[in-house]
Amino acid sequence: MSEIVIKVEHLSKQYRIGAREGYRTFRETLVDAVKAPLQGLSTVFNRRSAVGGRSASDLIWALKDISFDVKQGEVVGIIGRNGAGKSTLLKILSRITEPTEGRVELRGRVGSLLEVGTGFHPELTGHENIYLYGAILGMDRWEVTRKFDEIVAFAELEKFIDTPVKKYSSGMYMRLAFAVAAHLEPEILLVDEVLAVGDAAFQKKCLGKMGDVSKEGRTVLFVSHNMAAVESLCNSAFLLHQGKISARGNTDYVIRNYMETLTDPKSNSIADRKDRLGDGRLRFVGFDVASSFHSKQAAVCGTPSRLILRYNCVPPLKNVHVSIGFYTVLGEGVFYISNDLIGKTVEISTSEGSFVLGFEKLPLLPGSYFINLYCTAGGQLCDWVRNAIRLEVEDGNFFGTGKLPPKGWAIAVPFDFKVVTP
C-alpha cells in the first residue's frame, strides 16, 4: 500500500473580516472601567468574543473541520466555487498560513505554485530567482544547476532569463514559476490555477508536465476551475463548499456534484448571484428560453430558438458590448457570440430591458451547458457572471433525418456533401 504523504486532521482556519480595530492599551481599558463602573466591565468583556478577543460578527471560517489523506503518487483535484476555501487550504499546506485548529503532516519537500511570482524577488533576474526558489525548496546549488537549462527551455525565456522579473509580464512570471516548481523535483507539488495565465500551448505543456510528475511517483494537489483539466489529470478529487468537504472520491462523481451546486437549471436567480464582477451600471437579472418546437420553456436542438437575457441598468449607457460564452459542464468552450461580432452597436436609455439572441437552428446537441455572461459599457466592465445559466437542451431533428452526431460532441452545423468524379 502506498505511503500517506499528506495527512490533514480536523483542519480549520478562521479569518477576521471588515475594518481592523485599533489596539487598546491596558491603561485605556482601566480608565474606561473607572469612568463607567456600572457599564465599563460589561462593555470591556462584551466587546470580545471567545476567539482572540474579537467580535463574533467579524469572524468567518474559511475552512471548518477538514480531514483527508493523500497517498504518494496521487494526483488529487480540489474544486469548488470562489470563496470555498481552496486557496486557503493550499496556503496552509505550503506553510504560508497557520491553521486556527487542527494539524497537517507532510512527508517530503513541498513545491507550491499558488500565485503569480510567489517566492520570486522582483529585483532579481530570472536566472537568480531560479536559484533563490531552489534554496527555498531546500535544494543544493548543484541540484538547481543540473536542472537549470531544462527549466529555462520549458519556460521559453532564454532571451529574458537575465532580465529582472519585475519587467516580466504575468504570463512570463507564470511560465517561469511553474517551470521551477515542476522541475526541482519536490515530493509534493501544490498547484493553484496554473492554467489561469498563459496561452493554450503553454497550458497543454503544463498539463503534460504534471502528468509526468505524477508518473515519477510524486504527489500533486491541483486546484482549478477547468473541469476538463481536472478530469483528465486527477485520479480522485474532493469538493469544497463553504469551507467543508461536501463530496470526495472518483473525479467524475465529484465533478457532477460540483456542477449541481453551480445553478439550478430551472432557476432565474441570476439577480441573486454575489460572485460577480463589474461596477453595477448594468446587471443581468434573469433569462428565458423560447423555442418554436415547444410551448413550454425549453431549448431544443435544431429548432428556431431565442435566449432572452433580462437586465436592469442605470441609463444612459453607450457603446454597450454584450458577450455570451457557451461551455460544456466540464468547462470546455463550445462557442462565443457578441454584438460586436456582427457589428451591432448598442445604446441603452431605459432602466430595464432584455437582450435577445436568436438562432435559426439551435446548434447545441442534447445535454447540459453553462453560459457565461459579460457586459461592458464605454469600455468599462458592468457585469460578469460565470456559469450564470445552466441550459438543458432536448433532443431534436437538426438535419431532418432523425439522426445526430454520436455522444461526446457538443454542436451540429449545417453542411453540404457532394461526390465529384473525374
**Can you tell me the distance from the alpha carbon of 88 to that of 109, in angstroms, rounded to the nearest whole number?**
19
Q: For the CA atoms of the chain, what is the radius of gyration?
A: 26
Strand 305-313, strand 352-359: pairing: antiparallel
Task: Kindly indicate the confidence band of residue 224, based on its pLDDT and cuts at 50, 70 and 90.
Answer: confident
62: left (phi over 0), alpha (psi -120 to 50) or beta: alpha
Please count the other Cβ atoms lying within 10 Å of the Cβ belonging to residue 49. Answer: 13
Q: Which three cell numbers stand for residue 166?
A: 519585475
Strand 59-71, strand 219-223: pairing: unpaired
Mean pLDDT of 293-310: 76
User: Which pLDDT belongs to residue 30?
Assistant: 59
**Can you tell me the distance from the alpha carbon of 92 to that of 278, in angstroms, rounded to the nearest whole number?**
31
- Contact in structure between 408 and 361 (CB atoms under 8 Å): no
Instruction: State the average pLDDT for the chain.
Output: 83
Identify which of 407, 323, 404 has the alpha carbon closest to the alpha carbon of residue 362. 404
Tell me the per-residue pLDDT of 86-107, one tens digit each, with 9 for 90 and over: 989 998 998 888 999 999 999 9
User: Which pLDDT belongs to residue 275?
Assistant: 83
Domains, the chain: 13-60 (no CATH), 62-262 (3.40.50.300), 270-394 (2.70.50.60)
Please count the other Cβ atoms lying within 10 Å of the Cβ belonging to residue 167. Answer: 11
User: Which pLDDT belongs to residue 48?
Assistant: 43
Q: What are phi and psi of 312, to 5 degrees?
A: -120, 150
Q: Return the bridge partners of 189, or none.
A: 111, 220
94-117 burial, b if ≥16 CB within 10 A, otherwise e?
A: beebebbebeeebeeebbbbbbbb
By percentage, how much of the chain surpasses pLDDT 70? 84
Q: Return the bridge partners of 354, or none.
A: 310
Res. 348: pLDDT tops 60: yes
Q: Which of 49-63, 339-353, 404-418 has the lowest mean pLDDT?
A: 49-63
User: Which pLDDT belongs to residue 229?
Assistant: 79
**Can you tell me the distance from the alpha carbon of 8 to that of 112, in angstroms, rounded to the nearest whole number?**
17
Q: Which residue has the higher pLDDT, 69 or 26?
A: 69
Helix (H) or strand (E) holding 86: helix 86-93
User: Which pLDDT belongs to residue 117?
Assistant: 56
Instruction: Scan for cell 463607567, then name that residue.
Output: 36
Which class for 234: exposed (0-12), middle (13-18), buried (19 or more C-beta within 10 A)? buried
Helices (H), ranges, 137-226:
141-155, 170-183, 200-215
**H/E/C letters for each residue in 204-223?**
HHHHHHHHHHHHCCCEEEEE
Res. 7: pLDDT tops 90: yes
Q: Which residue has the higher pLDDT, 378 or 111?
A: 378
- Contact in structure between 265 and 299 (CB atoms under 8 Å): no
Do you find a cis peptide bond into 265, omega within 30 degrees of 0?
no
- Contact in structure between 239 and 257 (CB atoms under 8 Å): yes
Q: What are phi and psi of 42, to 5 degrees?
A: -65, -35
Q: What are phi and psi of 221, to 5 degrees?
A: -110, 120
Q: Which three cell numbers stand for residue 181?
A: 516548481
**Can you tell me the distance from the alpha carbon of 416 to that of 190, in angstroms, rounded to the nearest whole number?**
49
Identity at 238, one-letter amino acid code = F
**H/E/C letters for each residue in 11-59?**
EEEEEECCCCCCCCCHHHHHHHHHHCCCCHHHHHHHCCCCCCCCCHHHE
**Can you tell me the distance from the alpha carbon of 97 to that of 113, in angstroms, rounded to the nearest whole number?**
15
Q: What dihedral angle (degrees, nearest 10) is formed by the CA atoms of 276, 282, 285, 291?
A: -110
- Contact in structure between 198 and 206 (CB atoms under 8 Å): yes
Highest mean pLDDT among 61-65, 232-236, 400-404: 61-65
Tell me the per-residue pLDDT of 322-336, one tens digit each, with 9 for 90 and over: 999 999 877 788 999
- DSSP for 116-128? TTTT--TTSBHHH
- Contact in structure between 304 and 332 (CB atoms under 8 Å): no
- Contact in structure between 284 and 311 (CB atoms under 8 Å): yes
List C-alpha distances in Å: 202 to 154, 211, 321: 9, 14, 29
